[in-house]
Amino acid sequence: TFLLLDESERDNRLLSTSSKDIVAIDKINENSIKRTSGLICNLKQAQWEKNGKFLLRNILFDAHPGDLICIIGPVGSRKSLLLQTLTGEITYSDGKVRLYESFCYEPQESWIFSSSIKNNILFGKEYNHRLFQRVVHATALDIDFVQLSHGANTLVGDQGVMLSGGQKAHVNMARVLYRDADIYLLDDPLGAVDANVSKHLFEKSIKKYLHDKICILVTHQIQFLQDATIIIVLDNGEMIQMGTYEELLISSSTFAQLLEDINQHEQEQEQQLVSLSNRRSTVVR
């Protein structure tokens, strides 16, 4: 499943409150957030169906323009489900979730449809030359266009050019940035690309281009955590820690162990990708 939610006012589900609001939400000054854009998450629990098994619980944070909030945790800690709850996809919840102004959600898996790269980026929005060029530069697509015969007008998909994993990641990030939303919910967009692509997308697209936006980033890339405003650690659907990189590193041995586990997992995946690439190269020869 993938969603792209652009320029949308929050629907009634995300602006409503359950009958059991968490007391702590009263400590957050909603009026100050509402003046610009903002996000409030005060989630007691959430589940797919009414009275079903909980998926998430005890997650409390708020975000303001300029914040980069990284969501980390072991495999299966339901990080993606937190983003789906923020979008309103998981509708049965106890607590309060509010997203003010427009938001955009990028799913974990990169995808394209059969058309030109330009249309894949616009995704139905009106073409704005200046915005398009800014987005293309921020995502390094300008480099890809040099290698493609028709640049932005190159056809991709079933009847077109086959894009590499890195090129698909560039197109997906460009599509997201072109929405020009206030809040960005990014589900591990750096996880399926090599180190160079990952670094460029983080530095140019997330850190620089979205510097004045609210960005909630699910990631396994521990090398970027020091740039986060706040890090939220999930385990089995529950928020177990929250703080800056320095705060968590000093105060929590669990956080340090988690970083080590994530790093080991990433190295194993990278070795598997290298091994697969070598086998394919041998077959071609």
Q: Which one-letter amino acid corresponds to residue 172? A: N
Share of the chain above pLDDT 90, in %: 55
- pTM of the prediction? 0.80
Q: Does residue 258 carry a pLDDT above 90? A: no
Q: Does residue 25 carry a pLDDT above 50? A: no
Summarised one tens digit per residue, pLDDT across range 195-219 is 888 899 999 999 999 999 999 999 9
Give pLDDT, residue 266: 67
Task: Answer with the residue of higher pLDDT: 11 or 40.
Answer: 40
Torsion angles phi and psi, residue 147, rounded to 5 = -85, -10
Give pLDDT, residue 154: 95
Nearest CA-CA partner of 207 in 221, 224, 222? 224
Nearest CA-CA partner of 186 in 164, 166, 169, 208? 169
Rounded (10°) angle between helices 165-178 and 129-138 = 140
Torsion of CA 11, 118, 209, 256, to 10 degrees: 80
* Mean pLDDT along residues 25-41: 58
Q: Does residue 151 carry a pLDDT above 70? A: yes
Task: Answer with the residue of higher pLDDT: 261 or 20.
Answer: 261
* Mean pLDDT along residues 45-60: 85
Q: Is 62 helix (H, G, I), strand (E, B) or coil?
A: strand
pLDDT band at 70 (very low <50, low <70, confident <90, very high): very high
Average pLDDT, the chain: 83
Rounded Cα distance, 114 and 128, in Å: 22
pLDDT band at 127 (very low <50, low <70, confident <90, very high): very high
Q: Which residue has the tokens 């003046």?
A: 35
Rounded Cα distance, 279 and 84, in Å: 37
Q: Does residue 231 carry a pLDDT above 90? A: yes
Q: Which one-letter amino acid corresponds to residue 38? A: G
Summarised one tens digit per residue, pLDDT across range 89-105 is 887 888 889 999 899 99
User: Mind listing the domains of the chain with CATH numbers?
Assistant: 12-106+214-267 (3.40.50.300)
> Any idea what the Cα angle at residue 6 is, between residues 217 and 244, rounded to 5°?
20
The dihedral through the CA atoms of 200, 201, 207, 212 has a sign that is: positive
